[in-house]
Amino acid sequence: MALPRGSAWLPALLAALSSALPPAGTITVRMKTKPVITSLNDNTSIACQIHGYDTPLDISKMGVTWSRKTSNTDKEETLFQFLAGTSTSYRLGTSISKDELIRGNASLFLPKVQFKEAGTYRCKVTVTPSAAEDTGVLEVVAQPAVNLFPEEVTIESDKEKTLSCEVKNFYPNSLNIRWVKVSKNHQDGGVAGEDICTGTSVENEDGTFNVISKLRLQPSLQDSGNVYRCIVSHKSLQDNLLVTATLTVTAPKSDVGTLAGICVGTILLCIFVTAVVAFIYKKYLKRIPPNITAFTGNVEMKHLEDSVLYCQISGFRPKCIMVDFFLKKHQQEKEKIYSWKSIQQDTKQSSEGTALLEKFRDFQFQLNLQSHDNGTFEVSCTIHVRPNVHEHDNAELSLEISHEALQRGPTIRTTLLKVRAEPNLDPVLCSTDELKLDEPLTLTCRIHSFFPKTIELQWCKDEQALEESVTSEETKRSDGLFFYTTNLTFVPKAEDVGKRFTCRAKHRHSHLYKESSWQLENLVLNPQVSEIVCDPSIPEVGKSVTLSCTMTNYYPAECQVHWIRDFEELGNAAVRMQDIQPNTATNLHHKASYITIMPQPEDHAVTYFMEVTHCSRTIRKAYPLMLKGFPKVTGPVFHPNDMKYGDPFSITYEVMDFYPKDIQVQWLKEEDEIRSGSFMEDLKQDSKGCFHTSCKFDLTPTALDYGKKIVFRVKHETLTQPITKYMFLKLPAKSPTVSEIRATPARPNVDETVCLEASISDFAPKEIKVAWYKDWMKLQEDNTLNLQSARNGLCFYVSKLQFSPKASDNKTSLRCEVTHLATHCFIEKFFELKLRDFSTSIGDLSTLTTNQNHEGSLTNPRSSILERAPTLTIQCLTNNPKAGENVTLQCFIYGISTDNTYVSWYKGRYPIEEGIENTDCEDKPGFTTSVNFKTKGDEKECKIRCEVVTEDETFEETYTLKLG
């Protein structure tokens, strides 16, 4: 039942129910005072407990409304409503467990929570005449990921280096980052504020934030072995996140050389050597090779997600340095992707780097040159990468540095990129829409777009792990990503109602599962309904009679029972229902229904029906009430059992237990009385004085009897109304056979009348349509047909067309179309008209024939076979195709072969890539193409298109596939 948005209707509707409710106490509703904190994309529940009312609650007479107000709007939005047993969800996936609601738990389940859903939630409960409400707060957070690089720091004393602490994907924006130094001789100590630089947080596309904090290090030899900690505090964390880096300090080579020089100079001549050394170092600066820390950061990257790598080139002199980056993809040559020089000598160097960036858009480089007081220089490089699994996994990224202090040539640093794609899970699909108790069902989840192919899978029922899963082999797509389908087959029990079945998948190195869920909302086991029992077994006029019927082994308990007399439903006052002790082991239900009547003479031979409606399925049982002393009619009995056109057939009824012996019987076909072919045997009297006889009707059915109703009627003085029995003649529909078109004369002269005729035979029923065409123009349509019945009982008809040809009609194609509606059969015949005294270079082709039969729809080709373009005709080869099962379609392409022809099948807009077979025909020009594919479980119908491409043209045909 669809309910309108909003809650204005709820008080009014519940007030209307109040008169039917028992007096209720004053209820209260309690929600958690503390905010409910959940992580992004997690499932959560917001508690709402009902107090002050006797349980179990009658949920058919109560209402629950959940609404939400966010910080971005003052308007309160309705999320979920429950009224009198009916649930309406305005936010996809929200639900309330009915089993829990009976126990006073109105908690709201929210799947896949997003940031925008944070706010104040209101739970309003109405149990007439009492109502209560309470509010609670939901906060949505995202836990940060912290990386510190480099983790092992090696630096010369009195040189500078930077530690970077990167915090990613956190929400809300409020975050605290602290730096702590742990030395060998002291406890944890703070770090000078001037050495810390924390950037401004940057918002990502999904609403989370990133921030980087940097710590400048300028240690001495005594600091070697110190440990530096980056400590992150955030609302989403119960404990702080901590990452560490260890410092190693080495003595600079230049200091050792200077100390040795000073010692030697002191021995020889301190003043002279000091002056010479001061002059040399002042005049000529010593060249120092660069210290390189390459490719720190996210070496393991996520597919199509931005990642950052860092390179540090420090402590070099002189300033001029060349930095080149190269990329070597799988089985390809190494290519330069970026080039940078500290001193740009001409515009050519700059234009080269720009051109490379245009070519390799997945890599963006930011290089920054800094100078230090000691005359050395430092280049920090930030590389932004948007990796693609197909191109960049296992690709080799290398850094090449050219500097004049490097005596052995350029220095090269290399790293191997690892790209992974987290699995995506489609919604879990169920193999059937009608979930039945103790019948196996299969849940299917498609897991796709992941890399590498090794992932961990798990099926859970609530939080209980299940083992009954079957997984297909992985399939690799053209973009390098993998997908496959996992199935869970199990036999549901009554206790599984309300359980949530979840498919989970993750990479082995990941800590978080991706998941998709499906909830078992209801199960159906239709009742076993007994035959109707009459007590007493032989009812009499004016004496009480009880009819009873039992329904056993069904679930759920809700079912409706109706008693019907002929076509009139009996009132509830006459019906009694009685519960039978249920089987507690299976939780199945059992019930009996009784109706007591006082039969009158007009009730004789009246049929009483009991209808049981359970979960949209109706089961009907019938009982004809035969009163004592009244005639009884049994039958019909057919001989032979199968009715065929043109073969004798008989129908027999037995009339018994009547007195006095005067009785009248009547046979009718539709409303017309049958005068011949009916017989009644001589009356016979039994030991009780009652009479009985046998009535027989013989006929030889023809096509004109198709679907006719045969009525048998009995009149007797004890009956206030005749006993009437009827049946329909179940004769099969037969498609017509159409002869070739005959012309008289065969080759007429110009303006001479020619008579064309076609014989249409062996069809039933009689309704057909016949039309004649000259090319595209309709010449004649037979509306009033003079049908005849042949000896075999089928219809026969000769359609004629008189036509006076002109000179321009030579070699014109005349066509006769025959449409038989009952069998959806369409047949057409062609005749090429050749006039006398006209020559032709083509052979004497007097008759051309083609037949086309279509089921479901009738097509009408409008061209001659000699000039016809290739035509496509699609038909379904699968009987009664059903959703979720394999279906096979076939298309016949007339007039061309498979040579130099390309065939494609499409389902909607998407191509069907597997299950296609093409076969040339041996007995007629053309070929057939077939496709086999699996439909989705929730489909009712879909459009299937066949496209045929030749060297010159493209042809296509569309078919609407209806699924059960």
Q: Which domains does the chain have, with CATH numbers?
A: 28-141 (2.60.40.10), 145-249 (2.60.40.10), 291-343+356-420 (2.60.40.10), 424-520 (2.60.40.10), 528-580+587-625 (2.60.40.10), 632-729 (2.60.40.10), 737-833 (2.60.40.10), 871-962 (2.60.40.10)
Q: What is the DSSP letter of 223?
A: G
Q: What percent of the chain has pLDDT over 70?
A: 87
Q: In the structure encoding, which two tokens stand for residue 414, read together? A: 């290399």
Give the integer Cα–Cα distance in Å for 839 and 842: 9
Give the integer Cα–Cα distance in Å for 11 and 127: 10
Provide the pLDDT for residue 2: 40
Q: Could you count the other beta carbons within 10 Å of the beta carbon of residue 330?
A: 11
Classify the phi-psi angles of 356: left when phi > 0, otherwise alpha if psi is within -120 to 50, otherwise beta.
alpha
Task: Identify residue 169 by its one-letter amino acid code.
Answer: N
Provide the pLDDT for residue 827: 92
Q: Tell me which of 287 and 216 has the higher pLDDT.
A: 216
Give the mean pLDDT of the chain. Answer: 82
In the predicted structure, residue 67 carries a pLDDT above the cut 90: yes
In the predicted structure, residue 359 carries a pLDDT above the cut 70: no
Band the pLDDT of 409: cuts 50, 70, 90.
confident
Residue 23: burial class (beta carbons within 10 Å; 0-12, 13-18, 19+): exposed
Mean pLDDT of 281-298: 76
The CA distances from residue 587 to 528, 529, 957, in Å, are: 15, 18, 53
Give the integer Cα–Cα distance in Å for 423 and 71: 33
Task: Identify residue 328 by its one-letter amino acid code.
Answer: K
The answer to whether 768 and 788 are in contact (CB under 8 A) is no
Stated pTM of the model: 0.37
The answer to whether 131 and 10 are in contact (CB under 8 A) is no
Strands lying side by side in the sheet with 464-466: 464-466, 455-461, 500-507, 514-519
Residues sharing a CB contact under 8 Å with residue 258, sequence separation 6 or more, in sequence order: none
Give the integer Cα–Cα distance in Å for 500 and 506: 19
Give the integer Cα–Cα distance in Å for 2 and 839: 75
Provide the pLDDT for residue 852: 36
Q: In the structure encoding, which two tokens stand for residue 617, read together? A: 């399925």
Give the integer Cα–Cα distance in Å for 5 and 76: 12
In the predicted structure, residue 185 carries a pLDDT above the cut 70: no
The answer to whether 504 and 416 are in contact (CB under 8 A) is no
Token pair 């190693």: residue: 248
Q: Which helix (H) or strand (E) holds 270?
A: helix 253-283
**C-alpha closest to that of 525 among 431, 588, 610:** 588
Q: In the structure encoding, which two tokens stand for residue 219, read together? A: 């240690």
Band the pLDDT of 270: cuts 50, 70, 90.
low
**C-alpha closest to that of 509 among 630, 422, 598, 632:** 422
Band the pLDDT of 399: cuts 50, 70, 90.
very high
**C-alpha closest to that of 162 among 359, 361, 311, 8:** 311
Max Cα distance, the chain (Å): 159
Band the pLDDT of 573: cuts 50, 70, 90.
low
Task: Identify residue 343 by its one-letter amino acid code.
Answer: I
Q: Tell me which of 544 and 271 has the higher pLDDT.
A: 544
Mean pLDDT of 122-136: 88
Residues sharing a CB contact under 8 Å with residue 306, sequence separation 6 or more, in sequence order: 384, 385, 386
Band the pLDDT of 192: cuts 50, 70, 90.
confident
- The b-or-e profile of 770-786 (16+ CB within 10 A means b, else e) is bbbbbeeeeebebeebe
Give the integer Cα–Cα distance in Å for 911 and 906: 4
The answer to whether 482 and 453 are in contact (CB under 8 A) is yes
In the predicted structure, residue 43 carries a pLDDT above the cut 50: yes
Highest mean pLDDT among 4-18, 320-334, 572-586: 320-334
Q: What is the DSSP string of 845-912?
A: ---EEEE---SSS-----S-TTSPPP-EEEEE-SSS--TTSEEEEEEEEET--STT-EEEEEETTEEE
Provide the pLDDT for residue 354: 52
HSE (side-chain half, CA atoms, 13 Å) at 34? 3
Q: Tell me which of 654 and 926 has the higher pLDDT.
A: 654
Give the integer Cα–Cα distance in Å for 800 and 712: 42
HSE (side-chain half, CA atoms, 13 Å) at 695? 21
The three-state (H, E, C) secondary structure of 483-526, written as one string: EEEEEEEECCCHHHCCCEEEEEEEECCCCCCEEEEEECCCCEEC
Q: Tell me which of 602 and 379 has the higher pLDDT.
A: 379
The answer to whether 426 and 449 are in contact (CB under 8 A) is no
The answer to whether 931 and 914 are in contact (CB under 8 A) is no
Q: Tell me which of 187 and 619 has the higher pLDDT.
A: 619
- The region of weakest confidence among 254-263, 566-575, 851-860 is 851-860
- The region of weakest confidence among 15-24, 26-35, 560-569 is 15-24
Give the integer Cα–Cα distance in Å for 765 and 820: 9
Q: In the structure encoding, which two tokens stand for residue 734, read together? A: 């037969």
- The region of weakest confidence among 721-730, 733-742, 776-785, 831-840 is 831-840
Provide the pLDDT for residue 475: 81
Length of the chain: 964
Give the integer Cα–Cα distance in Å for 204 and 198: 18
Band the pLDDT of 932: cuts 50, 70, 90.
very high
Q: In the structure encoding, which two tokens stand for residue 842, read together? A: 């083509």
Long-range contacts of 889-892 (CB under 8 A, 24+ apart): 889/930, 889/931, 889/944, 889/946, 889/959, 889/961, 890/928, 890/929, 890/930, 891/928, 891/929, 891/930, 891/946, 891/957, 892/921, 892/926, 892/927, 892/928
User: Is the bond into 11 cis (omega within 30 degrees of 0)?
Assistant: no
Q: Could you count the other beta carbons within 10 Å of the beta carbon of residue 451?
A: 23
Mean pLDDT of 613-625: 87
Torsion (CA) 5, 7, 13, 15 in degrees, nearest 10: 180
Q: Could you report how far apart the first and last alpha carbons of the chain are, in Å?
A: 23
Residues sharing a CB contact under 8 Å with residue 391, sequence separation 6 or more, in sequence order: 329, 362
Highest mean pLDDT among 177-186, 268-277, 347-356, 544-553: 544-553
The phi, psi pair for 460, rounded to 5°, reads -130, 145
Mean pLDDT of 688-707: 90
In the predicted structure, residue 312 carries a pLDDT above the cut 50: yes
In the predicted structure, residue 458 carries a pLDDT above the cut 50: yes
The phi, psi pair for 107, rounded to 5°, reads -60, 145
**C-alpha closest to that of 653 among 719, 716, 713:** 713
